[in-house]
């Protein structure tokens, strides 16, 4: 595994310039979590074999994921077993006019190099992040490291997917939690990208939209304006907690091309493997790559084989990998998991294989592989000194070795 991946350090005399470019050109406005710098000094370089393998696996996983969500849409009673909020299960019934080809389907599979080869920890099916990091970051980093090149540009793929579905010059609604800079920087990057191509970008909170005759309109500044498309960076389960309960349900039935349509939420829960035996859909690749998943039961702190995971966890939070979890924190999570069993799973731990650097460092690597409408669309990398890839993990550009004929 390690022979297909290298962690190459950006020269120390160039790192400061590189970091400034990441902040100001790659929309990494807040490059810190508490006292931790989240801009890696390294780049990950994959050979052609690793790139081809990851792309092929992710595309096959996407095929299986779409098949499962199509089946689940016809069998919404499984929603309760997955732990979806009851109001969401009811709202999903409004998606009777859903046609997958009318919407942009984006997902990100998180791969980890292990002693058993590639394994995955999850699919970010609803609202994956890492847009600028998989578009601009590799281009910047490739200027500091010899004999490498970026792979796919994520932003280009997302734009082309919308371009097929909307008229030139239309207005796109970029829906996000508008009070958070880390969400705004993601949407600002994509909005700027679309505007350079002649489209108009509107930056909207979820309640800035209204739906009329199944079409989405912006109500920004009390002006009703039709939207040609929606890019949503606001997790669907968060909407169930918002006060405007009637308004957000229009997302489920809209004919306005969306990324992602709420149907994507059917495959977001990490409890999905628990219902595989009840589905007709083929999930062979999923079963091959995802560790064994079980319903919640009591675990011991010293258990090295299994861990707790929240069904709707994000950014690696509350995953009880021992190296990153104190005994006090573990006991608190176990108490919560046993109390709210539908909101947690138990999963077998894979043995993440740390990657060694030339200067004697060692890091665990997560490679998010984007798939848009079934096709590989780029990489998003993060590294951590321990096996849990959480909010303190550092963003690392994923680059390819330059083809021999180009050297």
Distance separating alpha carbons of residues 226 and 210, to the nearest angstrom = 10
| Inter-residue contact 46 to 52 (CB < 8 Å) | no
Q: What is the chain's Cα-based Rg?
A: 21
| Inter-residue contact 109 to 58 (CB < 8 Å) | yes
Provide the token pair at 170. Answer: 């239309």
- pLDDT for the residue 406: 52
Weakest mean pLDDT among 26-35, 133-142, 168-177, 397-406:
397-406
Helix 154-163 and helix 181-196, axial crossing angle in degrees, nearest 10? 60
Average pLDDT, the chain: 92
Weakest mean pLDDT among 68-72, 249-253, 343-347:
249-253
Each residue's pLDDT tens digit, 261-278: 999 999 999 999 999 999
Question: Is the pLDDT assigned to residue 335 strictly greater than 70?
Answer: yes
Q: List Cβ neighbours of 263 (8 Å cut-off, separation of 6 or more).
A: 69, 73, 92, 95, 98, 100
Distance separating alpha carbons of residues 118 and 111, to the nearest angstrom = 6
- pLDDT for the residue 407: 45
Question: Is the pLDDT assigned to residue 405 strictly greater than 70?
Answer: no
Helix, strand, coil percentages for the chain (3-state, nearest 5): 35, 25, 35
- pLDDT for the residue 222: 84
- pLDDT for the residue 66: 97
CA atoms within 13 A on the CB side of 180: 10
Weakest mean pLDDT among 188-197, 221-230, 270-279, 319-328:
319-328
Q: CA of 247: how far to CAs of 92, 208, 212, in Å? A: 14, 10, 11
The larger pLDDT score, comparing residue 222 to residue 75, is at 75
Label residue 404 by pLDDT band (50, 70, 90).
Answer: low
Label residue 244 by pLDDT band (50, 70, 90).
Answer: low
Instruction: Report the 10 Å Cβ neighbour count for 80.
Output: 12
- pLDDT for the residue 343: 94
Residue 234 buriedness (CB in 10 A; 0-12 / 13-18 / 19+): buried
């Amino acid at each position: 595994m390690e022979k297909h991946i290298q962690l190459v350090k950006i020269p120390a005399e160039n790192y400061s310039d590189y970091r400034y470019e990441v902040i100001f050109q790659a929309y990494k406005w807040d490059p810190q979590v508490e006292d931790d710098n989240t801009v890696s000094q390294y780049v990950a370089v994959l050979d052609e074999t690793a790139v081809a393998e990851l792309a092929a696996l992710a595309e096959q996983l996407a095929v299986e994921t779409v098949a499962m969500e199509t089946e689940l849409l016809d069998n919404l009673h499984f929603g309760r077993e997955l732990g979806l909020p009851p109001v969401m299960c009811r709202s999903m019934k409004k998606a009777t006019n859903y046609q997958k080809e009318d919407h942009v389907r984006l997902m990100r599979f998180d791969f980890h190099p292990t002693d058993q080869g590639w394994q995955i920890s999850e699919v970010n099916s609803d609202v994956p992040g890492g847009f600028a990091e998989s578009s601009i970051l590799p281009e910047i980093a490739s200027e500091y490291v010899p004999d490498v090149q970026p792979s796919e540009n994520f932003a280009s793929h997302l734009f082309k997917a919308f371009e097929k579905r909307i008229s030139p010059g239309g207005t796109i609604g970029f829906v996000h939690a508008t009070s958070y800079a880390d969400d705004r920087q993601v949407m600002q990057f994509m909005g700027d990208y679309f505007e350079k191509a002649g489209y108009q970008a509107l930056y909207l909170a979820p309640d800035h939209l209204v739906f009329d005759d199944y079409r989405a309109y912006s109500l920004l500044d009390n002006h009703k304006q039709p939207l040609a498309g929606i890019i949503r960076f606001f997790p669907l389960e968060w909407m169930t907690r918002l006060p405007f309960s009637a308004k957000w349900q229009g997302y489920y039935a809209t004919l306005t091309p969306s990324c992602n349509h709420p149907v994507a939420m059917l495959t977001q829960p990490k409890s999905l493997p628990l219902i595989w035996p009840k589905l007709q859909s083929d999930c062979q690749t999923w079963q091959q790559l995802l560790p064994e998943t079980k319903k919640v039961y009591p675990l011991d702190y010293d258990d090295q084989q299994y861990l707790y995971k929240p069904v709707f966890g994000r950014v690696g939070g509350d995953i009880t990998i021992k190296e990153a979890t104190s005994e006090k924190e573990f006991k608190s999570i176990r108490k919560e998991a046993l109390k709210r069993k539908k909101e947690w799973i138990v999963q077998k731990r894979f043995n993440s294989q740390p990657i060694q650097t030339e200067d004697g460092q060692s890091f665990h690597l997560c490679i998010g592989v984007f798939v848009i409408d079934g096709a590989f669309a780029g990489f998003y990398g993060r590294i951590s000194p321990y096996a849990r890839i959480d909010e303190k993990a550092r963003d690392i550009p994923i680059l390819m070795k330059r083809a021999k004929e180009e050297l």
